[in-house]
Chain A
């Protein structure tokens, strides 16, 4: 037993020596560390997932090119389809693979809620890159779970403030009945009522519902200033489309889950124009390391856009790699390292985790749909007064 082992080591050493002499590439001598990525790579929000995956891949590739890196990194990307049942399967697959030292996971809150228990059970340190439900970090005491992006608490406070300041008085709320939609509904309702906004009606819808005419006709009767939708892009497209069919003239307000270019691809004509939404963080161009990220992303030549949460996926993967560089590919050591992250430099700004592993950044950006693009509110023609949001 020992003899075979030692013989193998000698052989491996000889091979490595021979290879490094013949190829003179030091990278080959490095130990390979596997890091996971989970996001929706197919399905209605796959553009978000693919953007996140590409960004995580970029972080890995850039580090692999760095000669000072102690390890060679390999990305293991898995698809959760934004479905909790599939998410649990792939999370288990990842967590039970002992070669994986850590992972950057989940865009969909409903999926993340189902998988955090698995990461805890198998001691796999993870950093959430896109899901915004507060309970993912605050609903448990798991040391393994961290998050670089902000939560929907911050997002809805800013949203309520902003919309009230625009002079709107009454709202109708449509939310999908996943944890994501329900969470947004809870926080938005809370902040809006505090600030004096009036909610005329709240409608829960299933996350694959096709027909909203019944709910929307009821909303038409209630006649609110604003229709607030908490859910993801595919439903947002259908609701906006059907609002127009029923002749509802209210302003359409969304949440982070629909800040995607697919919103414009799915809508015909200029229906998207003037929709407002909110997102944690800031657009890539306005981030401290944004210019660097965007130029590297362009250079890598990915087929898809990095989308809203790409920079977070990049920052999360970078932080994870930094941890492995520091303490080695050991799950418990990485978890311990992440617990003490404070003012860690990243392209999204300094990252500091609180005792629940939540990044304390509360930067929220407001967006408005203008000419088929999401434009930062302050830079838009709506803010300058050239165009007007819908007021009845």
Chain B
């Protein structure tokens, strides 16, 4: 195998990894703050992608042709709407059940995910068919031997990584992040210190859902297609990535996302058996990793609390 192809595999893997990491970060944020697993996360991502797609149709309908303007509008509307949806879910479904067994929250968000998915399928015009997402980014490509690098892929990966770094800074370097970490560590003490608990939970869910919307748009721009079922597998992969990385740890989520993408690529390319088994292989390795390190590769720092 020549070096160009190796580069190509690497570029593909990084692209996938960025998307997975963005989803995994959401799972980790929710778990860190509230100790809940929100299974509707993948479908919230799909809602983000569809909101973006609808915004684009609206922009075209009012006659704006500039792809950059369209892109900004798509991102702003989609992230804002999805963040609001995330906060609503936290306020009306997750917080009221906080003192119920964690299984109930898991179940209620699982059902919410199905409701969102079926809702789009049934009520979005022609929602059961895949939609051709517009290519809003420049498609010029750079050919280096057998390695072809496209401008849109580079922009998407850079933007994705920038968002991940931004989130990381937000959590670790700002007052808001400090409050989120305080709530994550000890809810009672945080409240005594004057932190508005409900507000912090809502903001965290909004941030996580906004990141999912970004991943949804990224997915649409990269594959030029969105469909109602896109969140299902992405949600599952994001969740697994968060788990192998170590739930509750943002670095773990990033590591998990890239690890999973790497496993899939290796599964499809380097293994002797058919590429149809790449997901089986990737999830199999995840199972093995979990058996080896039950708390994830990077354990949550406060996981030893009682």
Q: Is the CB of B5 within 8 A of A221?
A: yes
Within 8 A of A (CB), among B11-31: 12, 15-16
The 3 closest A-B pairs by CB, nearest first: A204-B276, A214-B268, A247-B148
Within 8 A of A (CB), among B196-246: 219, 223-225, 227, 229-230, 233
Q: How far, in angstroms, from A245 to B140 measured CA to CA in the complex?
A: 10
Q: How far, in angstroms, from A46 to B223 measured CA to CA in the complex?
A: 21
B8 within 8 A of A: yes
B304 within 8 A of A: no
Q: How far, in angstroms, from A211 to B275 measured CA to CA in the complex?
A: 12
Q: In the complex, what's the smallest C-beta–C-beta distance from B169 to chain A, in angstroms?
A: 29
Within 8 A of B (CB), among A206-222: 206, 208, 210-211, 213-215, 217-218, 220-221
A92 within 8 A of B: no
Interface digits, A196-238 against B, CB 8 Å rule (1 contact, 0 not)? Answer: 0000001111101011011101101100000000000010011
Q: Is the CB of B121 within 8 A of A204?
A: no
Name the A residues within 8 Å of B225 (CB-CB). 237-238, 241, 266
B143 within 8 A of A: yes
Q: How far, in angstroms, from A211 to B17 measured CA to CA in the complex?
A: 12
B171 within 8 A of A: no
Q: Is the CB of A217 within 8 A of B269?
A: yes
A210-B233, A220-B5, A234-B130 given. 4 additional CB < 8 A pairs? A211-B16, A213-B16, A247-B143, A267-B132
Q: In the complex, what's the smallest C-beta–C-beta distance from A350 to chain B, in angstroms?
A: 36
A21 within 8 A of B: no
B187 within 8 A of A: no
Residue of A177, A206, A217 touching B9 (CB-CB under 8 A): A217
A23 within 8 A of B: no
A206-B279, A214-B264 given; A42·B121 CB < 8 A = yes
Name the B residues within 8 Å of A47 (CB-CB). 129
Name the B residues within 8 Å of A26 (CB-CB). none
A214-B265, A214-B268, A246-B148 given; A265·B132 CB < 8 A = yes
B67 within 8 A of A: no
B278 within 8 A of A: yes
Name the B residues within 8 Å of A177 (CB-CB). 276
Q: Is the CB of A43 within 8 A of B128?
A: yes
Which residues of B are in contact with A by a Cβ distance under 8 Å? 1, 5, 8-9, 12, 15-16, 121, 128-130, 132, 134-135, 141, 143, 146, 148, 150, 153, 219, 223-225, 227, 229-230, 233, 264-265, 267-269, 274-276, 278-279
Within 8 A of B (CB), among A145-202: 177, 202
Q: Is the CB of A44 within 8 A of B129?
A: yes
Name the B residues within 8 Å of A268 (CB-CB). 132, 134-135, 224
Q: Is the CB of B128 within 8 A of A42?
A: yes
A177-B276, A215-B268, A215-B275 given; A220·B223 CB < 8 A = no
A262 within 8 A of B: yes
7 contacts between A and B (CB under 8 A): A42-B128, A204-B275, A215-B275, A218-B268, A241-B223, A247-B141, A266-B130
Q: Determine the main DSSP class of B at the interface with A.
A: helix
Q: Is the CB of A221 within 8 A of B128?
A: no
Which residues of A are in contact with B by a Cβ distance under 8 Å? 42-44, 46-47, 177, 202-206, 208, 210-211, 213-215, 217-218, 220-221, 234, 237-238, 241-242, 245-247, 262, 265-268
Q: How far, in angstroms, from A47 to B135 measured CA to CA in the complex?
A: 24
Q: Is the CB of A217 within 8 A of B8?
A: yes
Closest to B150 in A: A245
Q: In the complex, what's the smallest C-beta–C-beta distance from B119 to chain A, in angstroms?
A: 14
Name the B residues within 8 Å of A217 (CB-CB). 5, 8-9, 12, 269
Q: In the complex, what's the smallest C-beta–C-beta distance from A382 to chain B, in angstroms?
A: 25
A46-B128, A234-B130 given; A203·B275 CB < 8 A = yes
Q: In the complex, what's the smallest C-beta–C-beta distance from B271 to chain A, in angstroms?
A: 11
Q: How far, in angstroms, from A205 to B275 measured CA to CA in the complex?
A: 7
Q: In the complex, what's the smallest C-beta–C-beta distance from B245 to chain A, in angstroms?
A: 20
Closest to B9 in A: A217
Name the B residues within 8 Å of A262 (CB-CB). 129
Q: In the complex, what's the smallest C-beta–C-beta distance from A288 to chain B, in angstroms?
A: 33
Name the A residues within 8 Å of B276 (CB-CB). 177, 203-206
Q: In the complex, what's the smallest C-beta–C-beta distance from A341 to chain B, in angstroms?
A: 35
Q: In the complex, what's the smallest C-beta–C-beta distance from A51 to chain B, in angstroms?
A: 14
Closest to B143 in A: A247
Q: Is the CB of A210 within 8 A of B230?
A: yes
Q: In the complex, what's the smallest C-beta–C-beta distance from B289 to chain A, in angstroms?
A: 20
Name the A residues within 8 Å of B134 (CB-CB). 268
The listed residue with most A CB atoms (<10 A of its CB), out of B132, B150, B265, B275, is B275
Q: In the complex, what's the smallest C-beta–C-beta distance from A252 to chain B, in angstroms?
A: 16
The listed residue with most B CB atoms (<10 A of its CB), out of A46, A206, A234, A245, is A245
Q: How far, in angstroms, from A241 to B135 measured CA to CA in the complex?
A: 11
Q: How far, in angstroms, from A279 to B14 measured CA to CA in the complex?
A: 39
Q: In the complex, what's the smallest C-beta–C-beta distance from A285 to chain B, in angstroms?
A: 26
Name the B residues within 8 Å of A267 (CB-CB). 132
Name the A residues within 8 Å of B121 (CB-CB). 42
Name the A residues within 8 Å of B5 (CB-CB). 217, 220-221
Name the B residues within 8 Å of A242 (CB-CB). 223
Q: Is the CB of A214 within 8 A of B269?
A: yes
Q: How far, in angstroms, from A210 to B230 measured CA to CA in the complex?
A: 8
Q: How far, in angstroms, from A266 to B133 measured CA to CA in the complex?
A: 9
Name the B residues within 8 Å of A265 (CB-CB). 132
Name the B residues within 8 Å of A266 (CB-CB). 130, 132, 225
Q: In the complex, what's the smallest C-beta–C-beta distance from A251 to chain B, in angstroms?
A: 18
Name the A residues within 8 Å of B153 (CB-CB). 245
Name the A residues within 8 Å of B269 (CB-CB). 214, 217-218
Q: Is the CB of A221 within 8 A of B1?
A: yes
Q: In the complex, what's the smallest C-beta–C-beta distance from A223 to chain B, in angstroms?
A: 9
Q: How far, in angstroms, from A241 to B143 measured CA to CA in the complex?
A: 17
Q: How far, in angstroms, from A205 to B280 measured CA to CA in the complex?
A: 12
The listed residue with most B CB atoms (<10 A of its CB), out of A204, A214, A267, is A214
Q: In the complex, what's the smallest C-beta–C-beta distance from B277 to chain A, in angstroms?
A: 8
Q: Is the CB of A213 within 8 A of B12?
A: yes
Q: In the complex, what's the smallest C-beta–C-beta distance from B69 to chain A, in angstroms?
A: 19
Closest to A182 in B: B276
Name the A residues within 8 Å of B12 (CB-CB). 211, 213-214, 217
Name the A residues within 8 Å of B223 (CB-CB). 210-211, 238, 241-242
Q: In the complex, what's the smallest C-beta–C-beta distance from A342 to chain B, in angstroms?
A: 40
